[in-house]
Amino acid sequence: MAKGKIFEYAILYHPKEKKDVGGNVLENKKSILVKPLTAVVAVSEQEVGILAAKAIPAEYEEYLEDVEILIRPL
Question: From CA 49, how far away is CA 53, in angstroms rounded?
Answer: 6
Question: From CA 22, how far away is CA 55, in angstroms rounded?
Answer: 38
pLDDT by residue, tens only, the chain of 74 residues:
789 999 999 999 999 877 777 767 666 789 999 999 999 999 999 999 999 999 999 999 999 999 999 999 99
CA 33, distance to chain mean position in Å, is 8
Query: What values do phi and psi take at 32, rounded to 5?
Result: -115, 135
pLDDT at position 59 is 95
Count of domains for the chain: 1
pLDDT at position 25 is 64
Q: Quote the domain boundaries for residue 21.
A: 5-61+68-73
pLDDT at position 18 is 72
